[in-house]
Amino acid sequence: MDKAGESCKVVLTADRTLMSDYHHNEFVGFGTCAPPNVIPDWLYKFLFFPPIKTKDGVPVAAPYGLRKIEAQLLMEGFDVVTVDPDYLGKYVDEARVLGIHVMDPFGLGPASSTFASILKKEPFLAQYFRMLMEKSEIKRAKKHGLKIVIGGPGVWQFKYRPEFVKEYGIDCIIDGEAEKVIGKIVQAALNGEDLPQYYEVSVEETPSLEEIPDIVAPSINDLVEIGRGCCRGCRFCSVTLRPLRWYPYDKILREIEVNMKVGGGACLHAEDVMVYGSKNTIPEDEKLIKLHEAVLEKCGGIGWSHCSLAAVASKPKLFSKISEIILQKQSWWGAEVGIETGSAELAKKIMPAKAHPFKPEEWPEVVRTGMGLMHDYKLIPACTLIVGVPEETEDDVIKTIELLDDLKGIRSLIVPLFFVPMGRLEDEDWFNDAEMNSVHQELLIKCLKHDFYWINSLIDLAFAGKWYAKLIRPFYRLFVEIIIHKAAKAGIR
Ligand code: SF4
């Protein structure tokens, strides 16, 4: 969609760390969680979140969530354009509503708060969100009555920053899936009515499948949603509070078609791609195979956003079949995977259904089996561990350390994340570095060593076949070398 040069009443945007394709690699996007470090900021930005291509300030691709809102507003007849943050000046003067998409606006998410807690600096993604809000063109438009509406997975963080909301004149923050409510909020803003400062989307307002529009312009890195919600019910997670819905094949293929205007593949997004089409935690062989065959027939490659170890471990044959399909056009694929703990006791308390259809007591074995299968069939997982969850004991951490020993030979990244109160544990206390004991430190060092061992081969794989690999790869390698050198100076070898 090309709205360049037009004056639109509704402008949508996101900060630079979100309006980037990370050199066509979602893994690289994790770099936005880090604070400024040994690399000069300008070089770090180029390496980890370079600006996306634009035409007259309109990005060729934008975050998937923003594209959904854009599609919904267009469907309801609003005059809307999505704009790169560096080109707001050209559009925002004429606008009456500015919609901003956020993921981790204050760096309070698990990955960025862990980095910030250790390195004692504001992460890039928080810095760039603040820089967006401080833009003179927004302040100018605000004086002329512009209403600012914010949505996205990171909105929960505004509850911890009420002064910021006031200081920057944010008019409305929408918490939840906004398809059914965004139209009425934008209309109220255009009518000059007061907006609710914090709008929590109720269960009744959560859209059904039929009420979720197809995106009409490409999403960053070919992301396409294949479903929403998760039925595993981990206590520390807010996703699980939403109903489970799977998109039909034709809807997924239509969105891939839209993305193919600028991309070539499809990154399938769900909380667990392995259970596509299933009402529970057991993968549905036929549906999953059909989905992958249909997607691959349409485009040049497949990635996954997330998948569960339990689903992989429960259906090794199905997983091998899926791998066979995917590897027809590529040599590996990636996904985010939650390990969280190596302790069966802790798993039982905080994520009793994570191992399902296996028992929670079997969790460490489920992790070993799932990770082994991923290694054999070329899925490279970026794994997370939770550190400092309220009920955690020293023995639980020791169990996780022991599990890491077993995972040494698995091609993967393993990232420890400090506990952030969310989901059913939202009233608990945050964990921070001051609470770290020697066992926690040992765990962090173990993760670092694991990642240092694998990182160079992962960089090679991530950029294999790309024309610019030769130019850019040495910079990432240098970055890794500097970090390893720093760690060695701190006694981590
Ligand atoms: S499996 Fe993942 S998405 Fe589902 S509830 Fe647990 S942490 Fe949340």
pLDDT of residue 114: 83
**How many whole angstroms from 70 Cα to the centroid of ligand 1?**
27
pLDDT of residue 487: 67
225, 228, 230, 273: which to mutate for ligand 1, most atoms within 8 A of CB?
A: 230
**How many whole angstroms from 211 Cα to the centroid of ligand 1?**
24
**How many whole angstroms from 427 Cα to the centroid of ligand 1?**
18
**How many whole angstroms from 209 Cα to the centroid of ligand 1?**
20
Q: Which ligand 1 atom sits closest to the C-alpha of 233?
A: 5
- Supply the DSSP symbol for 15: -
The secondary structure element, H or E, covering residue 413 is strand 413-418
Asked if 61 and 263 count as a contact pair (C-beta separation under 8 A), the reply is yes
**How many whole angstroms from 99 Cα to the centroid of ligand 1?**
28
**How many whole angstroms from 306 Cα to the centroid of ligand 1?**
10
pLDDT of residue 164: 97
Instruction: Give the separation between CA 59 and CA 83, rounded to whole angstroms.
Output: 6
| Bridge partners, residue 414, by sequence | 383
Residues of the chain scoring pLDDT < 70: 1-7, 240-241, 468, 486-493
Instruction: Give the separation between CA 277 and CA 247, rounded to whole angstroms.
Output: 8
Burial letters 326-343, b for 16+ CB under 10 A, else e: beeebebbbbbbbbbbbb
239, 269, 280, 385: which to mutate for ligand 1, most atoms within 8 A of CB?
A: 239
Locate 115 and state its tokens: 């980095």
pLDDT of residue 435: 87
Q: Is the CB of 271 under 6 A from ligand 1?
A: yes
Residues 6+ apart with CB under 8 A from 108: 157, 160, 420
Locate 62 and state its tokens: 């934008």
Asked if 401 and 392 count as a contact pair (C-beta separation under 8 A), the reply is no
Q: Is the CB of 232 under 6 A from ligand 1?
A: yes
Asked if 302 and 274 count as a contact pair (C-beta separation under 8 A), the reply is no
pLDDT of residue 240: 64
pLDDT of residue 241: 66
Residue of 458, 452, 465 whose CA lies nearest to 493 = 452
Residue nearest ligand 1's atom 3 by CA = 271
Rounded (5°) CA angle 300-305-308 = 120
Q: Is the CB of 15 under 6 A from ligand 1?
A: no
Chain segment 196-217, per-residue pLDDT in tens: 999 999 989 999 999 999 999 9
pLDDT of residue 27: 81
The secondary structure element, H or E, covering residue 167 is helix 162-167
Q: Is the CB of 269 under 6 A from ligand 1?
A: no
Rg (CA), the chain: 22
Instruction: Give the separation between CA 484 and CA 493, rounded to whole angstroms.
Output: 8
Chain segment 130-172, per-residue pLDDT in tens: 999 999 999 999 999 999 999 999 999 999 999 999 999 999 9
